[in-house]
């Protein structure tokens, strides 16, 4: 009886070791390092020129975290909505939106290589109180 129980525990451990990391790896692959030569706006914050890591959170397809270059500080955890393309992109694409004169451009969307869907960033328009 003990040997059957031990075998079941070992089998369960092998199963989780073999399959669980692969299940999470698909989400954690959605990570890029970006270098901005000028300040850019993200919802609620302006990032100075520099290196950042964008990661789609493994808890949801539509949550993006933005870290510093060595991933020791999270600048923002943002809810996003899907943005779609007709054809997958070959390399990472970040689209920027122009703002008023003198204001930094804003990150509008992020597309990961090989995907036809990306993450659109949501901004509040303070004059209207709605999404922009």
Q: pLDDT for 83-129, tens place per residue?
A: 999 999 999 999 999 999 999 999 999 999 999 999 999 998 754 44
Please name which of 100, 107, 93 lies closest in space to residue 39, comparing C-alpha atoms. Answer: 107
- Residue 30's pLDDT band (cuts 50, 70, 90): confident
CB-side neighbour CA atoms (13 Å) of 110: 25
pTM: 0.71
Q: What pLDDT is stored for residue 70 in this prediction? A: 96
φ, ψ (nearest 5 deg) of residue 30 = -80, 70
More confident residue, 15 or 100: 100
Q: Where are the alpha helices (DSSP H) in the chain?
A: 2-28
Q: Is 22 helix (H, G, I), strand (E, B) or coil?
A: helix
Please name which of 96, 87, 100 lies closest in space to residue 120, comparing C-alpha atoms. Answer: 96
């Amino acid at each position: 009886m003990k040997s059957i129980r031990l075998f079941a525990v070992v089998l369960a451990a092998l199963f989780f070791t073999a399959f669980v990391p692969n299940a999470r790896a698909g989400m954690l692959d959605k990570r890029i390092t970006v270098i901005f030569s000028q300040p850019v706006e993200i919802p609620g914050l302006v990032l100075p020129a520099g290196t950042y890591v964008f990661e789609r959170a493994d808890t949801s397809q539509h949550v993006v975290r933005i870290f510093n270059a060595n991933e020791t500080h999270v600048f923002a955890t943002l809810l996003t909505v899907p943005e779609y393309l007709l054809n997958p992109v070959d390399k990472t694409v970040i689209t920027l939106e122009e703002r008023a004169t003198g204001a930094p451009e804003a990150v509008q969307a992020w597309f990961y290589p090989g995907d036809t869907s990306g993450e659109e960033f949501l901004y509040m328009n303070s004059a209207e109180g709605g999404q922009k």
